[in-house]
């Protein structure tokens, strides 16, 4: 199980990648492209005819990656906040 710090670092890493993609990353290395496709595949996106699709949405790779990273970051931030609040609550109950 990841610590709060490890979760925060993972979120920050995704946030930096998202910022880079939003800045108009015109050229992505093959290694980065493979990383993006792995993120999309693990999240349930399906590649077909030059577009990625999920839940009725069809987007090119970079746009799909941006949408997915935005969703993952929001979810993971909420989850980290809930875990942090829960850990503080349990710590104060022990006192």
The predicted pLDDT at position 91 comes to 73
Domain map of the chain by residue range?
Answer: 4-89
Q: What is the pLDDT of residues 38-81, one digit of tens each?
A: 999 999 999 998 999 999 999 999 999 999 999 999 999 998 98
pLDDT band at 95 (very low <50, low <70, confident <90, very high): low
pLDDT band at 1 (very low <50, low <70, confident <90, very high): low
SS (H, E, C) 58-72: EECHHHHHHHHHHHH
The predicted pLDDT at position 63 comes to 95
The predicted pLDDT at position 52 comes to 97
Mean pLDDT value across the chain? 89
- Give Cα separations from 23 to 5, 26, 53 (angstroms): 27, 9, 23
pTM: 0.82
């Amino acid at each position: 199980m990841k610590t709060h710090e490890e979760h925060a670092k993972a979120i920050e890493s995704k946030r930096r990648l998202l910022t880079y993609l939003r800045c108009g990353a015109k050229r992505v290395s093959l290694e980065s492209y493979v990383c993006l496709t792995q993120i999309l595949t693990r999240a349930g996106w399906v590649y077909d005819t030059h577009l990625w699709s999920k839940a009725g949405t069809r987007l090119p790779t970079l746009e799909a990656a941006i949408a997915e990273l935005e969703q993952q970051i929001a979810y993971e931030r909420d989850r980290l906040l809930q875990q942090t609040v829960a850990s503080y609550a349990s710590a104060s109950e022990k006192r």
